[in-house]
């Protein structure tokens, strides 16, 4: 029997709350950075009786310390300093909070397990994920207690009991079906009487070993959990009041976007808007779950709603940039009038697991862009791959480029009064892609110029609307 059928009505303080109205709330690292921040988040949770499941990140800074600890070459003193820093962040919160017996037991045991594990002599991928998991494991105890201190009936839940993944440590892929099954039996029954607090970012493989979904993965976790429990909406609470039309540090007139479609939001997250983990939109759009992005410091200011419906208006909604892009140009005069050139190039790229973003082609050449950002899934371009391409092509690699993406719906080169081509012609554009997606128009510029390009586009195309 489905979860919906089994628990079609949930009780909340004497009222009935329809199951399909359940919300999941996710609080990022800055939102749970300290005691006061946690109290603000707890108030947000309690202000909406439909919020029954909460996923938290590690308190701000903790995951960075854990990443540093996973480095085998640290001196003993350096290692101890990172351990102390993690412990200090926890103590800052616990000194303002009286922990119930059940929370004390779990919290202290987890803290001890962290200290012991941090002294591991060699961190392979498996041991690293175990280490990285401690941030969320600790913050979830404390957030549960903060909710209780405001009068809520709240329980901490270990997400590894439901969030099933493969064994790709460091960037594990979820098993969506298994996660739903586990959530249905182990998590859903608890939601009727408790606000459940669980961890973002982490999961477990089929052997029960801890995995992580990749840096910033808590947003993704929240959407996966929302999908698994058939929630109506997932609220991503962060430190900005929504998704902006561009990076507000770059353009003072950047403004939060009230509404985005799933497609637009996915493009924005992929092409550099840092607010959401790019994978978050997948489960949400697959299952029709609305996503809200807002600031836990200023919930009254609203935020961005990402929903299934197409945006009402055609046009450009945002401009993003992604620096550190590589342009790879592969040219083969031999291939003139021959077939199979692209297939040959892409077979080699696939063999080296290289993910391509933009592509333009001519009869005997192909230009493509690769993400070389420090957090890219596949940062370096192997020499072996270049050598293999060089066997039948002339290969050029250009670095220090920025991919600028205009995002919206039905983007056209001329839209009403706006002449996109006219604006773009002022820049030295290295490569341009338009037409493959209705939701973006992307191009490459020199990295040194890209902030100016983004500012100019924002002021001439977005502020003009
Ligand atoms: N704590 C993890 C990180 O800092 C996951 C997250 O916050 O989303 O990457
Ligand atoms: Mg984040």
User: Burial code of 214-234, b = ≥16 C-beta within 10 A, e = fewer?
Assistant: bebbbbbbbbbbbbbbbbbbb
16 is in an annotated binding site: no
238 is in an annotated binding site: yes
Residue range 198-227, pLDDT digits in tens:
999 999 999 999 999 999 999 999 999 999
Nearest ligand 1 atom to alpha carbon 219: 8
Residue 246's closest CA among 447, 48, 460, 38? 460
Band of pLDDT at residue 60, cut at 50, 70 and 90: very high
pLDDT of residue 465: 53
Residue of 135, 138, 211 to test ligand 1 pocket, by largest number of atoms within 8 Å of CB: 135
Report the CATH architecture of 316-462. Answer: 2-Layer Sandwich (3.30)
Per the structure block, which two tokens stand in for 410? 């039905």
* pTM greater than the 0.75 cutoff: yes
Note the ligand closest to the C-alpha atom of 136. 1
Residue range 184-203, pLDDT digits in tens:
999 999 999 999 999 999 99
Q: Which residue in the block uniquely carries the two structure tokens 């002021």?
A: 459
Band of pLDDT at residue 414, cut at 50, 70 and 90: confident
Q: Residue 201: CB within 6 Å of ligand 1?
A: yes
Dist. CA 219 → ligand 1 center (Å): 9
Residue of 26, 212, 218, 221 to test ligand 1 pocket, by largest number of atoms within 8 Å of CB: 218
Dist. CA 217 → ligand 1 center (Å): 6
Total count of residues recorded for the chain:
465
Dist. CA 429 → ligand 2 center (Å): 31
Residue 57's closest CA among 194, 159, 208, 175? 159
274 is in an annotated binding site: yes
Q: Return the number of other C-beta atoms located less than 10 Å from residue 437's C-beta.
A: 14
pLDDT of residue 13: 39
Q: Residue 29: CB within 6 Å of ligand 1?
A: yes
Dist. CA 335 → ligand 2 center (Å): 46
214 is in an annotated binding site: no
| Euclidean distance between the first and the last CA atom of the chain, given in angstroms as a whole number | 50
CATH of domain 3-12+20-239: 3.40.1160.10
Dist. CA 57 → ligand 2 center (Å): 8
Domain assignments of the chain as residue spans, ordered by start: 3-12+20-239, 316-462
Q: Mean per-residue pLDDT for 126-140?
A: 98
The pLDDT mean for the chain works out to: 90
Please check the confidence at residue 18 and state whether its pLDDT lies above 80.
Answer: no
106 is in an annotated binding site: no
- Are 3-12+20-239 and 316-462 equal in CATH topology? no
Nearest ligand 1 atom to alpha carbon 201: 5
Instruction: Report yes or no: 196 and 157 within 8 Å, Cβ to Cβ.
Output: yes
Residue range 340-355, pLDDT digits in tens:
888 889 999 999 888 8
27 is in an annotated binding site: yes
Residue range 217-268, pLDDT digits in tens:
999 999 999 999 999 999 999 999 999 999 999 999 999 999 999 999 988 8
Band of pLDDT at residue 9, cut at 50, 70 and 90: very low
Dist. CA 89 → ligand 2 center (Å): 18
Nearest ligand 1 atom to alpha carbon 217: 8
Please check the confidence at residue 8 and state whether its pLDDT lies above 50.
Answer: no
């Amino acid at each position: 029997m489905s979860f919906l059928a089994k628990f079609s009505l949930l009780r909340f303080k004497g009222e009935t709350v329809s199951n399909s109205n359940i919300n999941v709330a996710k609080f990022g690292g800055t939102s749970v950075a300290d005691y006061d921040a946690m109290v603000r988040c707890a108030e947000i949770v309690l202000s909406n009786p439909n919020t029954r499941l909460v996923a938290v990140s590690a308190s701000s800074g903790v995951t960075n310390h854990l990443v540093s600890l996973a480095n085998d070459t640290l001196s003993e003193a350096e290692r101890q300093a990172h351990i102390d820093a993690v412990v200090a962040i926890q103590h800052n919160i616990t000194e303002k909070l009286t922990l119930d017996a059940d929370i004390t037991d779990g919290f202290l045991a987890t803290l001890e397990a962290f200290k012991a594990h941090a002294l591991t002599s060699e961190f392979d991928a498996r041991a690293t994920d175990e280490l990285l998991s401690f941030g969320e494991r600790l913050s979830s105890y404390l957030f549960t207690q903060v909710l209780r201190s405001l009068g809520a009936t709240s329980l901490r839940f270990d997400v590894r009991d439901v969030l099933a993944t493969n064994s790709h440590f460091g960037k594990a892929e979820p098993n969506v079906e298994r996660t739903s099954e586990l959530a249905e039996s182990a998590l859903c029954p608890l939601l009727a009487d408790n606000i459940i607090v669980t961890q973002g970012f982490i999961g477990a493989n089929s052997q029960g070993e801890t995995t992580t979904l990749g840096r910033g993965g808590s947003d993704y976790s929240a959407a996966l959990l929302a999908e698994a429990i058939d929630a109506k909406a997932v609220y991503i609470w962060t430190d900005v009041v929504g998704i902006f039309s561009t990076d507000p540090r770059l353009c003072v007139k950047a403004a939060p976007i009230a509404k985005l479609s799933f497609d637009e939001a996915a493009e924005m997250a992929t092409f550099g808007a840092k607010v959401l983990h790019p994978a978050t939109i997948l489960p949400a759009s697959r299952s029709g779950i609305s996503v809200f992005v807002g600031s836990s410091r200023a919930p009254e200011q609203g935020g961005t709603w990402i929903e299934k419906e197409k945006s009402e208006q055609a046009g450009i909604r945002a401009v993003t940039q992604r620096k550190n892009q590589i342009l790879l140009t592969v040219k083969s005069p031999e291939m003139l009038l021959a077939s199979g050139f692209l297939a040959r190039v892409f077979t080699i790229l696939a063999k080296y697991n290289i993910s391509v973003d933009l592509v333009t082609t001519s009869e005997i050449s192909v230009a493509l862009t690769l993400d070389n950002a420090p957090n890219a899934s596949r940062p370096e371009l192997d020499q072996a791959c270049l050598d293999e391409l060089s066997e039948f092509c002339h290969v050029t690699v250009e670095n220090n480029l920025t991919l600028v993406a205009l995002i919206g719906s039905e983007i056209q080169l001329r839209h009403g009064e706006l002449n996109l081509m006219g604006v773009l012609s002022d820049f030295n554009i290295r490569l341009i892609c338009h037409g493959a997606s209705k939701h973006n128009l992307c191009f490459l510029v020199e990295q040194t110029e890209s902030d100016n390009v983004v500012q100019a586009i924002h002021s001439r195309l977005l502020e003009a609307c």
